[in-house]
Amino acid sequence: MHRALVTAAAVVVLGLGTVLAACGSDGGSAAPAAPLSAAGQNGRQVAKEQGCISCHTADGEKGTGPTWQGLAGSTVTLEDGTEVTADDAYLRDAIVRSRGQVVEGYPNIMPVYEGELSEAELDDLIAYLHDLAPADAGSKEPDGEGAGGS
């Protein structure tokens, strides 16, 4: 008698565990390989709110648009065959003036975000893209750049 009860309880617990685990993996995107910076976390939030993640993934999977994993700092081939480096200026343009440069092999359907995103949101998005390309860490803005001189 007791034995059967214990077994039943175990089954229920196991079942619950499975459901919870399934929820966890469905609810958000898979945990990123690299830890996100504070700005990167904001950027991920912006990407969710703006619906970017309906077309872009952070895990290397090809979506409607190219994945964001490893994008920052990589070489991107555009529709017309030009090769460009995905530096911050490129990323910014790709987001706000998406119609200007189209990645080879993808339709020119990305919405234009000019005027939709604040500067801060753009910066956060770009920080997020950098976080998703850990190999590019070296090309982040150096801290004590003495460009100003005096």
Residue from 58, 95, 127, 133 touching ligand HEC (CB under 6 A): that is 95
Handedness of CA 117, 59, 56, 17 (dihedral sign): negative
Is 44 a residue that touches ligand HEC (CB under 6 A)? no
Site string for ligand HEC, 18-37 (x = CB under 6 A): --------------------
Is 91 near ligand HEC (CB under 6 A)?
Answer: yes
* C-beta separation of 73 from 86 below 8 A: yes
- Of 13 and 104, the one with the shorter C-beta distance to ligand HEC is 104
Rounded Cα–Cα distance for residues 133 and 74 (Å): 9
- Alpha-carbon distance of 127 to 110, in angstroms, equals 20
Q: Which amino acid is at 144?
A: G
- Considering only 34, 37, 113, 140, the residue that binds ligand HEC (CB under 6 A) is 113
